[in-house]
Amino acid sequence: MNRRDTARGLLRVMRTAQRTRTPFKVTCLGDSLTSGVYPHFLSYFLGTEVNRLGFGGKTSDHILERYCESPAKGGILLAWAGNNNFDDPERVEADVDAIAALHGDSAKLLVIGLVNGDYPGRRFGEAGYQKIVDYNARQAGRFDDHFLDIRAELIARVGGLNPHDILPKNIRKDKIHFNYRGNWLVARIVYSRLRLLGLAT
């Protein structure tokens, strides 16, 4: 590579850095919904690198345990835990509180709520469904704007006939995991909330 090409390369890097809109480090913590591609889309919206800590199939206590090994301090934390043990909401709530305490900066914390996939027991009027919506309502009361009811936001955004009040089929690739459109929507909704909180521009 000659000097001219090197100079052009450096200029491109500088211009990219100037376009970076969010100066904070960002960590996405959670289960398989976080190990998908939503953090990559979020990185694009933010204009900065996003650290993805997604542990597929793991419950909130395991996610807490893994986070304890290398807590991400000094930046924004998006905590999305409990989808694999939604039937024990008190445990999920305690683990999320412990994650929040370990992070230590409530101003740079966003807790993301539970979602209900197309499984028996998690549809409208069923016991699992009620645990999920009740948990989300409690956390919204506790964390205020620093809690994001992603389930309700996604259902409202997509619309359409949805008598079971579950994650819409056209944003899922299976019963609960998101397809590309779903991951893009999750990232877009999270980004909008970060802007509301003054954590993104």
User: Would you call 29 helix, strand, or coil by DSSP?
Assistant: strand
The predicted pLDDT at position 5 comes to 56
The domains found in the chain, sorted by start residue, are 24-196 (3.40.50.1110)
Q: What is the pLDDT of residues 28-76, one digit of tens each?
A: 999 999 999 999 999 999 999 999 999 999 999 999 999 999 888 889 9
Q: What pLDDT was estimated at residue 183?
A: 97
pTM listed for this prediction = 0.88
DSSP E strands, 23-151:
26-30, 50-54, 76-80, 109-112, 147-148
145 Cβ neighbours under 8 A, 6+ residues apart = 193, 196, 197
Q: What is the longest distance spanned by two Cα atoms in the chain?
A: 68
Residues of the chain with pLDDT under 70: 1-24
Mean pLDDT of the chain: 91
Q: What is the pLDDT of residue 73?
A: 81
Rounded distance between C-alpha atoms, residue 105 and residue 67, angstroms: 15
CA distance 41 to 43: 5
d(CA 62, CA 152): 26
Q: Is 81 exposed, middle or buried (0-12, 13-18, 19+ CB in 10 A)?
A: buried
- The whole-number pLDDT of residue 17 equals 41
